[in-house]
Amino acid sequence: MTTVTSAASAADLRRTLVDRLTAGGHLDPRWRDAFLHVPHEAFFREAESGCRDDAPAADGPGARPSVLAAMLGALGPVERGTRVLQVGTGRGYDTALLCHRAGEATVTSLAPGPEALAPAREALARAGYAPTLAVGAPAAGHPGGAPYDALIAGVDVPRVPAAWLAQVRPGGTVVAALGFALAALSVAADGSATGPLLPVTAAFADAPADAPADAWQDPAGPLGYDVGMVLSLRGQSRVAVLPDLGGTVPRLLRHLVQPDVTQVTLREAEKEQSALHILTHRPSGSWARVVPRSGGFVHVDHAGPRDVFGEFAPVVSHWAAAGRPGPEAYGLTVSADGGHALWSAADDGFRRPLAHG
């Protein structure tokens, strides 16, 4: 049975959502009108059109309105006629917000296949918008409409593709999600880009941050191997001082350093602290088991050609020594040839090259 939402109740829901986003400090005032007037009921079922921040009333990373609002605000000044490329059309709601602000004539939205575009095109038409909708590989962008003033990516990528930077004019902005991290990069004349991480985090994840052990004892399950087997393995051992890897920022930083490594955090029943963390790189067979101990120490067993613990430990240790700041304390620089480096806004001596994802 289909439930119809009245125009009045839909407007009330949008107003409540805007009030909550504003109170949380997530909504740039320049985007208030778009969130108030774009009918998200045209893109989502009524059950999905709630005003909670965890309601999927957005298309982008984790489908959280606060994340979408932060990403749009980080685009910088978007006015009528601003040329915007959106990578990842989704259901079309985010596209509609861009159309409301920039005008449909200068908004291009890219989907990976025609089957993904059909429902979005219909929903956009219901809402009264007709932007340019294109099909193509997300990492390739859409060079036919370049140069753009801004690019916003609602897809999870391990690294910012060089094609995106090449298609945005110098002085333009690229806002993208890399795992849990959200980066807002300003493009330079030499084709490089640099900028801070945003204070909010995406909900993309390689695995749930909290998982009961029996959820991962299936070789055909989400990870494709038996965690119980990894628990029994022995490798090289070491002891280190490290904060809990189950925390939001440590998990974000680890994923930035090694996006191709999967992390599973297991917790003991009725306890908040982590029981242990399992890190695996399946192609190489490399793994690490990190067991928190008292006093901030961890016991590590690891094996394989890659030291999947040693790759990220210095970065998380730097974060702890810096006072455990939010992700906005760090930034990202991307060179024109695709090289990535993580840096600290407060520590000029911290600059970490990132391996290709």
DSSP code per residue over 1-53: -PPPPPHHHHHHHHHHHHHHHHHTT---GGGHHHHHHS-GGGTS-GGG--SST
Q: Are 177 and 222 within one domain?
A: no
Six token digits for residue 28: 């740039």
The answer to whether the CB of 48 falls within 8 A of the CB of 4 is: no
Longest dimension (CA), the chain: 64
Q: Check residue 214 and give its pLDDT.
A: 44
**Which residues, including other chains, have CB under 8 Å from residue 74's CB and lie 6 or more apart?**
173, 175, 182, 184, 198
Write out the residue range of the structural domain in which residue 247 sits: 213-321
Q: Check residue 4 and give its pLDDT.
A: 47
Digits of tens for pLDDT over the chain (357 positions)?
344 455 568 888 889 999 999 999 999 999 999 999 999 889 986 545 455 554 545 565 555 789 999 999 999 999 999 999 999 999 999 999 999 999 999 999 999 999 889 999 999 999 999 999 999 999 999 999 999 999 999 888 999 999 999 999 999 999 999 999 999 999 999 999 999 999 999 875 444 444 444 444 444 344 444 555 566 677 789 999 999 898 899 999 999 999 999 998 887 665 556 678 999 998 999 999 999 988 889 999 999 999 999 999 999 999 999 999 999 999 999 999 999 999 999 999 999 999 986
Q: Which CATH number does the domain housing residue 282 bear?
A: 3.30.160
Cα gap 72→88, rounded to integer Å = 14
Beta-carbon count within 10 A of 230 CB? 18
End-to-end CA distance of the chain: 45
Residue 53 covered by a domain: yes
Peptide bond into 212 cis (omega under 30): no
Residue 188 covered by a domain: yes
Q: Check residue 3 and give its pLDDT.
A: 45
Cα gap 337→72, rounded to integer Å = 26
Residue 260 covered by a domain: yes
Q: Are 104 and 167 within one domain?
A: yes
Residue 92 vs residues 121, 172, 256: alpha-carbon distances, Å = 7, 23, 28
Domain boundary among 154, 170, 196: 196
Question: In DSSP terms, which residues pair with 152 in a beta bridge?
Answer: 86, 175
Cα gap 274→267, rounded to integer Å = 5
Domain boundary among 164, 196, 228: 196
DSSP secondary structure letters along 147-195: SEEEEEEEEE-SS--HHHHHTEEEEEEEEEEETTEEEEEEEPTTS-EEE
Q: Are 190 and 219 within one domain?
A: no
Centroid of chain to Cα 91: 18
pTM of the model: 0.87
**Which residues, including other chains, have CB under 8 Å from residue 162's CB and lie 6 or more apart?**
334, 336, 337, 338
Q: Which CATH number does the domain housing residue 22 bear?
A: 3.40.50.150
Cα gap 308→301, rounded to integer Å = 11
